Amino acid sequence: MKSHTEDGILVLADISGFTAFVTATELEHGPPIIAALLEEVMRRLSPPLEIQEVEGDAVFALGPDRAIVPPSRLLDVLESAFGAFRNRQRELQADESCSCNACRNVWTLDLKIVAHHGRFLRQVVGGRGQVAGTDVILAHRLLKNRSGRQAYLLFTEAALRWVGIDPIRAGLVAHTERYEHLGDIRCFVQNLESVDRDRASATILAASARPIGDLALSR
């Protein structure tokens, strides 16, 4: 079994409200709506990211450092994914051809995106490629966090350093998570519950131009 390690960005995009939505809506319409929203997100993530897996209500994607040049390009990718989710959600909600619970409650769904930069091992198991490693575990754990938000972008400190964002100028909120075996993980969160795509993009992209040497991550 051949394997090798790489450094890169790990991204998970997860639909908030998935369980409540699917269990309370019609089987014929609920899952297809989730699939349509995930497909929009996947189209915006890949390329440049590689889709590793679709995990029910979430998409796991990654990109080695060489695939995202400059690193700040990641911001455009993530913002595009969130914008595509919102646009498709509006289209589905505006469709009045069906009055079932699923079609009437598309608005209850939201999207949260986690980004972490680290090292992962590429390997083949049972003829299928997969990635493994502590940073892969951490990225998945971060979906279960205490931010208290339904729609957000969450960057680990490692991801911010790689992209070159100043969290203070970007208006990101510092947040620390603690996980068994992983310790304290410093994160920075942008709430997207009440902002549209244009406003979110302007806030983050304006800060992304600041040189990484000026980052105030120690505050």
For the stretch 1-13, pLDDT in tens is: 578 899 999 999 9
Lowest mean pLDDT among 29-33, 40-44, 71-75, 116-120: 29-33
- Distance CA(163)–CA(208), nearest Å, equals 8
Cα radius of gyration rounded to whole Å, the chain: 18
In this prediction the pTM is 0.84
Ordered structural domains, the chain, with CATH? 3-211 (3.30.70.1230)
pLDDT above 60: residue 216: no
Confidence of residue 194 (pLDDT cuts 50, 70, 90): low
pLDDT above 50: residue 162: yes
Mean pLDDT of the region 131-135 = 93
Q: What is the DSSP string of 68-79?
A: SSSTTHHHHHHH
Lowest mean pLDDT among 18-32, 84-98, 118-132, 148-162: 18-32
Query: Nearest to residue 50, comparing CAs of 70, 65, 71, 64?
Result: 64
pLDDT above 60: residue 31: yes
Mean pLDDT of the region 195-204 = 46
pLDDT above 50: residue 202: no
pLDDT above 80: residue 207: no
For the stretch 35-73, pLDDT in tens is: 899 999 999 999 999 999 998 789 999 999 999 989 989
Query: Nearest to residue 112, comparing CAs of 158, 89, 81?
Result: 81
User: What b/e string do you get for 72-94 counting C-beta neighbours within 10 Å, with b at 16 or more?
Assistant: bebbbbbbbbbbbbbebbeebbe
pLDDT above 90: residue 106: no
Residues 6 or more apart whose Cβ sits within 8 Å of residue 23: none
Mean pLDDT of the region 73-81 = 91
Question: Distances in Å between the alpha carbon of 1 and those of 66, 118, 150?
Answer: 24, 23, 40
